[in-house]
Amino acid sequence: MISDNAKVPLLEVKGVTKDYRLGKTSIHALRGVDFTVEAGDFLSIVGPSGCGKTTLLNIIGCIDRPSSGTVLLDGVDVSTFDDDGEADTRLARIGFIFQSFNLVGVLDVRENIEFPLILAKLPKAERAKRIDRLVELVGLGDFVKHKPDELSGGQRQRVAIARALVNRPSLVIADEPTANLDSATSTTIMEAMKALNDEEGVTFIFSTHNELIERYAKRVLSIRDGLITGERRLANGVRFAAAATHEGDAAHGGVSSPGAPE
């Protein structure tokens, strides 16, 4: 999951702009964004609603194209890929975690996690091995046959995390992963992501406008009106559980917390 070539950053975003036409009006969602991400980073993009966070994550994640500028993933410009090239890149190298979980409603937990593996045409035995490991890692071992609508918000997001990680991507992008969760469950999810970053070396870029969540990051990029307005480094990130002010929040922390409904 860590880039093979240590000299090349995992991700380089250079002069990325994104304009939308809304009738006769042109909206500049991104006005020239530059930054790099090294493998193993745990980067938070923060800013108010409408500042361009989701647009930027979409472009980094190859689900949207910049109006100008380049996005280099492991030194390869992915912004010029065609639809199939983008789909293959998303499948092999990028994992997504969405604010509203976006699980496939008719599939159970195991099948949701298995879906990217089937697209990647992995053998059945390998698929089973990876899924077994991940469901244990996110603490959903007892819920593999459950459908998404039988799970709590936190459990659904953990399924989404497992699905994002199952193809062992270079980069996991999480767009406001805790926005639809209560603070206790948010803690659980962030602890899970942080542990994966610390222990497995998975690179995360996540957006948030929650200051408490932002403190998990090793690095924070502030964005406003389509421009990066600041960058901060937090030494190894802050363990939210330790800094929690809400009584009982810590009880929900940890990757291996049991998967009881939250």
Residues that bind another protein (CB under 8 A): 58, 61, 63-64, 83-84, 86-88, 90-92, 96, 98, 102-107, 111, 114-116, 118-120, 163, 167
Residue type, 177: P
Query: Of 14 and 65, which has the nearer Cβ to another protein?
Result: 65
User: C-beta of 115: minimal distance to another protein in Å?
Assistant: 6
Query: Of 91 and 227, which has the nearer Cβ to another protein?
Result: 91
Rounded to 5 degrees, φ, ψ at 7 are -75, -25
User: C-beta of 81: minimal distance to another protein in Å?
Assistant: 12
d(CA 251, CA 258): 11
**Cβ(74)–Cβ(3) under 8 Å?**
yes
User: C-beta of 231: minimal distance to another protein in Å?
Assistant: 25
Query: Of 63 and 227, which has the nearer Cβ to another protein?
Result: 63
User: C-beta of 65: minimal distance to another protein in Å?
Assistant: 9
Query: Of 160 and 212, which has the nearer Cβ to another protein?
Result: 160
Burial of 260 (0-12, 13-18, 19+ CB in 10 A): exposed
Query: Of 1 and 103, which has the nearer Cβ to another protein?
Result: 103
User: C-beta of 182: minimal distance to another protein in Å?
Assistant: 22
DSSP structural state of residue 52:
S
**Cβ(55)–Cβ(30) under 8 Å?**
yes
d(CA 54, CA 174): 10
d(CA 35, CA 44): 12
